[in-house]
Amino acid sequence: MDVVVRDGPAEVAQAAADIVCRLLADRPDAVLGLPTGKTPLALYDELACRCREGAVSFRRATVFALDELLGLRDGDPRSFRATLRGAIVGRVDLDPSRFHSPAGEGREYEDLIVRAGGLDLVLLGIGRNGHIAFNEPGSDRGTRTRRVALAPATVEEMTASFAPDPPPREAVTIGVATILEARRVVLMAVGAGKAPAVARAVSGPIDASCPASWLRTHTDASLVIDAAAAGRRA
Protein backbone atom coordinates (compact mmCIF):
# COMPACT_ATOMS: atom_id res chain seq x y z
CA MET A 1 0.00 0.00 0.00
CA ASP A 2 1.48 3.30 -1.13
CA VAL A 3 1.79 5.89 1.67
CA VAL A 4 1.99 9.57 0.70
CA VAL A 5 2.77 12.00 3.53
CA ARG A 6 2.07 15.73 3.13
CA ASP A 7 2.76 18.57 5.54
CA GLY A 8 -0.79 19.30 6.63
CA PRO A 9 -4.51 18.99 5.88
CA ALA A 10 -4.46 21.51 3.02
CA GLU A 11 -1.73 19.59 1.23
CA VAL A 12 -3.59 16.31 1.77
CA ALA A 13 -6.70 17.83 0.19
CA GLN A 14 -4.70 19.09 -2.79
CA ALA A 15 -3.02 15.72 -3.33
CA ALA A 16 -6.36 13.89 -3.19
CA ALA A 17 -7.92 16.45 -5.53
CA ASP A 18 -5.11 15.86 -8.00
CA ILE A 19 -5.97 12.14 -8.01
CA VAL A 20 -9.65 12.82 -8.65
CA CYS A 21 -8.92 15.36 -11.38
CA ARG A 22 -6.48 13.07 -13.18
CA LEU A 23 -9.04 10.29 -13.15
CA LEU A 24 -11.81 12.51 -14.53
CA ALA A 25 -9.47 13.88 -17.20
CA ASP A 26 -8.67 10.34 -18.33
CA ARG A 27 -12.17 8.96 -17.78
CA PRO A 28 -14.89 11.65 -17.68
CA ASP A 29 -17.58 9.04 -16.93
CA ALA A 30 -15.75 7.67 -13.88
CA VAL A 31 -17.71 6.17 -11.00
CA LEU A 32 -16.70 7.58 -7.60
CA GLY A 33 -17.39 6.42 -4.05
CA LEU A 34 -17.32 9.42 -1.71
CA PRO A 35 -17.23 9.66 2.10
CA THR A 36 -18.60 12.12 4.60
CA GLY A 37 -16.87 13.23 7.81
CA LYS A 38 -14.56 16.13 8.55
CA THR A 39 -11.47 14.91 6.70
CA PRO A 40 -12.80 15.18 3.11
CA LEU A 41 -14.35 18.64 3.53
CA ALA A 42 -11.17 20.43 2.46
CA LEU A 43 -10.94 18.09 -0.53
CA TYR A 44 -14.50 18.95 -1.55
CA ASP A 45 -13.73 22.67 -1.23
CA GLU A 46 -10.73 22.18 -3.51
CA LEU A 47 -12.71 20.19 -6.09
CA ALA A 48 -15.54 22.74 -6.09
CA CYS A 49 -13.02 25.52 -6.68
CA ARG A 50 -11.36 23.66 -9.53
CA CYS A 51 -14.74 22.92 -11.09
CA ARG A 52 -15.68 26.62 -10.99
CA GLU A 53 -12.38 27.42 -12.67
CA GLY A 54 -13.01 24.85 -15.39
CA ALA A 55 -10.12 22.63 -14.36
CA VAL A 56 -12.34 19.58 -13.82
CA SER A 57 -15.83 18.47 -14.75
CA PHE A 58 -18.17 15.99 -13.05
CA ARG A 59 -20.83 16.27 -15.77
CA ARG A 60 -20.49 12.65 -16.91
CA ALA A 61 -19.37 11.18 -13.60
CA THR A 62 -21.44 9.07 -11.21
CA VAL A 63 -21.17 9.36 -7.43
CA PHE A 64 -22.07 6.79 -4.79
CA ALA A 65 -22.17 7.76 -1.12
CA LEU A 66 -20.36 5.18 0.98
CA ASP A 67 -22.84 5.06 3.85
CA GLU A 68 -25.90 6.56 5.49
CA LEU A 69 -27.21 6.88 9.02
CA LEU A 70 -30.48 5.15 9.82
CA GLY A 71 -33.33 6.44 11.93
CA LEU A 72 -33.28 10.05 10.70
CA ARG A 73 -36.40 11.68 9.32
CA ASP A 74 -36.62 12.42 5.61
CA GLY A 75 -34.82 15.66 4.81
CA ASP A 76 -32.77 15.73 8.01
CA PRO A 77 -29.79 18.00 7.23
CA ARG A 78 -27.56 15.75 9.34
CA SER A 79 -28.04 12.82 6.97
CA PHE A 80 -24.98 11.90 4.95
CA ARG A 81 -27.00 12.34 1.77
CA ALA A 82 -27.68 15.95 2.69
CA THR A 83 -24.11 16.47 3.83
CA LEU A 84 -22.65 15.30 0.54
CA ARG A 85 -25.12 17.39 -1.44
CA GLY A 86 -24.02 20.48 0.46
CA ALA A 87 -20.31 19.70 0.50
CA ILE A 88 -19.71 18.59 -3.07
CA VAL A 89 -22.64 17.32 -5.18
CA GLY A 90 -24.44 20.66 -5.30
CA ARG A 91 -21.23 22.63 -5.83
CA VAL A 92 -20.00 20.95 -9.00
CA ASP A 93 -21.57 20.24 -12.38
CA LEU A 94 -22.67 16.72 -11.46
CA ASP A 95 -26.04 15.64 -12.84
CA PRO A 96 -28.19 15.15 -9.68
CA SER A 97 -29.59 11.92 -11.14
CA ARG A 98 -26.07 10.49 -11.04
CA PHE A 99 -25.80 10.82 -7.24
CA HIS A 100 -26.81 7.76 -5.23
CA SER A 101 -26.88 6.92 -1.54
CA PRO A 102 -27.63 3.63 0.22
CA ALA A 103 -30.81 2.74 2.04
CA GLY A 104 -32.35 -0.37 3.56
CA GLU A 105 -30.48 -3.64 3.46
CA GLY A 106 -28.23 -2.79 0.52
CA ARG A 107 -28.62 -5.53 -2.10
CA GLU A 108 -30.13 -3.07 -4.57
CA TYR A 109 -27.23 -0.68 -3.94
CA GLU A 110 -24.70 -3.37 -4.85
CA ASP A 111 -26.65 -4.06 -8.05
CA LEU A 112 -26.74 -0.33 -8.87
CA ILE A 113 -22.96 -0.10 -8.53
CA VAL A 114 -22.53 -3.08 -10.85
CA ARG A 115 -24.89 -1.55 -13.42
CA ALA A 116 -22.86 1.67 -13.30
CA GLY A 117 -19.78 -0.31 -14.30
CA GLY A 118 -18.20 -0.70 -10.87
CA LEU A 119 -16.36 1.83 -8.76
CA ASP A 120 -13.33 3.42 -10.41
CA LEU A 121 -12.20 5.23 -7.27
CA VAL A 122 -13.24 5.01 -3.64
CA LEU A 123 -12.14 7.80 -1.32
CA LEU A 124 -12.10 6.90 2.37
CA GLY A 125 -11.52 8.38 5.76
CA ILE A 126 -10.52 6.26 8.72
CA GLY A 127 -12.15 6.08 12.13
CA ARG A 128 -10.12 6.15 15.31
CA ASN A 129 -11.00 2.49 15.74
CA GLY A 130 -9.83 1.68 12.22
CA HIS A 131 -13.23 1.59 10.51
CA ILE A 132 -13.60 2.44 6.82
CA ALA A 133 -17.02 3.68 5.70
CA PHE A 134 -19.04 2.14 8.57
CA ASN A 135 -17.25 -1.18 8.47
CA GLU A 136 -16.53 -1.32 12.18
CA PRO A 137 -13.97 -3.61 13.85
CA GLY A 138 -15.09 -7.18 13.28
CA SER A 139 -16.06 -6.53 9.65
CA ASP A 140 -14.87 -9.42 7.50
CA ARG A 141 -13.15 -8.97 4.15
CA GLY A 142 -16.12 -10.46 2.32
CA THR A 143 -18.79 -8.08 3.67
CA ARG A 144 -21.17 -6.31 1.29
CA THR A 145 -23.52 -3.33 1.56
CA ARG A 146 -25.61 -3.97 4.66
CA ARG A 147 -27.24 -2.61 7.78
CA VAL A 148 -24.80 -2.34 10.70
CA ALA A 149 -24.76 -1.42 14.37
CA LEU A 150 -22.33 1.40 15.07
CA ALA A 151 -19.53 0.80 17.54
CA PRO A 152 -19.87 2.66 20.87
CA ALA A 153 -16.77 4.72 20.04
CA THR A 154 -18.33 5.82 16.75
CA VAL A 155 -21.60 6.77 18.44
CA GLU A 156 -19.68 8.76 21.04
CA GLU A 157 -17.79 10.69 18.34
CA MET A 158 -21.12 11.76 16.79
CA THR A 159 -22.73 12.86 20.06
CA ALA A 160 -21.78 16.52 19.80
CA SER A 161 -23.05 16.76 16.21
CA PHE A 162 -26.51 15.51 17.20
CA ALA A 163 -26.98 17.13 20.61
CA PRO A 164 -29.45 17.53 22.19
CA ASP A 165 -30.79 14.53 20.22
CA PRO A 166 -29.17 11.12 20.72
CA PRO A 167 -26.99 10.10 17.77
CA PRO A 168 -28.07 7.26 15.48
CA ARG A 169 -26.85 3.81 16.46
CA GLU A 170 -27.34 2.10 13.10
CA ALA A 171 -26.27 2.77 9.55
CA VAL A 172 -26.13 1.21 6.13
CA THR A 173 -22.67 0.98 4.59
CA ILE A 174 -20.96 -0.45 1.56
CA GLY A 175 -18.91 -3.48 2.56
CA VAL A 176 -15.22 -4.21 2.68
CA ALA A 177 -15.53 -6.41 -0.41
CA THR A 178 -17.35 -3.60 -2.21
CA ILE A 179 -14.47 -1.25 -1.42
CA LEU A 180 -11.80 -3.75 -2.43
CA GLU A 181 -13.46 -4.31 -5.80
CA ALA A 182 -12.93 -0.65 -6.70
CA ARG A 183 -10.22 -0.14 -9.28
CA ARG A 184 -8.43 2.30 -6.99
CA VAL A 185 -8.79 3.17 -3.31
CA VAL A 186 -7.42 6.28 -1.59
CA LEU A 187 -7.62 6.69 2.18
CA MET A 188 -7.14 10.17 3.66
CA ALA A 189 -6.22 10.91 7.27
CA VAL A 190 -5.20 14.09 9.05
CA GLY A 191 -4.31 14.90 12.64
CA ALA A 192 -2.48 13.17 15.44
CA GLY A 193 -5.73 11.61 16.65
CA LYS A 194 -5.73 9.34 13.60
CA ALA A 195 -2.09 8.28 13.95
CA PRO A 196 -2.75 5.09 15.98
CA ALA A 197 -5.38 3.88 13.51
CA VAL A 198 -3.11 4.68 10.56
CA ALA A 199 -0.26 2.76 12.19
CA ARG A 200 -2.49 -0.30 12.69
CA ALA A 201 -3.71 -0.08 9.12
CA VAL A 202 -0.19 0.15 7.70
CA SER A 203 1.78 -2.20 9.92
CA GLY A 204 -0.61 -4.13 12.17
CA PRO A 205 -2.20 -7.50 11.46
CA ILE A 206 -4.33 -7.70 8.35
CA ASP A 207 -7.60 -8.76 9.91
CA ALA A 208 -11.04 -7.63 11.00
CA SER A 209 -9.77 -5.95 14.17
CA CYS A 210 -8.75 -2.99 11.98
CA PRO A 211 -10.87 -2.99 8.82
CA ALA A 212 -8.57 -0.42 7.18
CA SER A 213 -5.84 -3.07 7.20
CA TRP A 214 -7.75 -4.95 4.49
CA LEU A 215 -6.63 -2.22 2.08
CA ARG A 216 -3.17 -3.79 2.09
CA THR A 217 -4.66 -6.65 0.06
CA HIS A 218 -5.70 -4.26 -2.73
CA THR A 219 -3.53 -3.91 -5.82
CA ASP A 220 -3.91 -0.12 -6.08
CA ALA A 221 -4.51 1.41 -2.65
CA SER A 222 -2.91 4.58 -1.32
CA LEU A 223 -2.85 6.43 1.98
CA VAL A 224 -2.66 10.21 1.65
CA ILE A 225 -2.00 11.54 5.14
CA ASP A 226 -0.48 14.53 6.86
CA ALA A 227 2.62 14.49 9.03
CA ALA A 228 0.59 14.37 12.24
CA ALA A 229 -1.40 11.33 11.11
CA ALA A 230 1.89 9.71 10.19
CA GLY A 231 2.99 10.13 13.80
CA ARG A 232 5.54 12.81 13.08
CA ARG A 233 5.98 15.65 15.52
CA ALA A 234 6.34 19.23 14.33
231: left (phi over 0), alpha (psi -120 to 50) or beta: left
Compute the 3-state secondary structure of the chain and give helix, strand, coil in percent, each to the nearest 5.
Answer: 40, 20, 45
The answer to whether 173 and 80 have CB atoms below 8 angstroms apart is: no
The one catalytic residue in 120, 131, 181, 226 is 131
Torsion of CA 172, 17, 225, 155, to 10 degrees: -20
The one catalytic residue in 46, 110, 120, 136 is 136
The one catalytic residue in 46, 67, 120, 226 is 67
Q: Is 135 a catalytic residue?
A: no
The one catalytic residue in 129, 135, 181, 226 is 129
Element (H, E) at 202: helix 195-203
Cis check: omega of the bond before 35, within 30 degrees of 0: no
83: left (phi over 0), alpha (psi -120 to 50) or beta: alpha
The single-letter DSSP state of residue 73 is P
Q: Is 129 a catalytic residue?
A: yes
The answer to whether 179 and 133 have CB atoms below 8 angstroms apart is: yes
Residue 133: beta bridge partners?
none
**Three-state SS for 223?**
strand
> Which of 42, 63, 50 lies closest to 21, judged by CA?
50
Report, as residue numbers or ranges, the catalytic residues: 67, 129, 131, 136
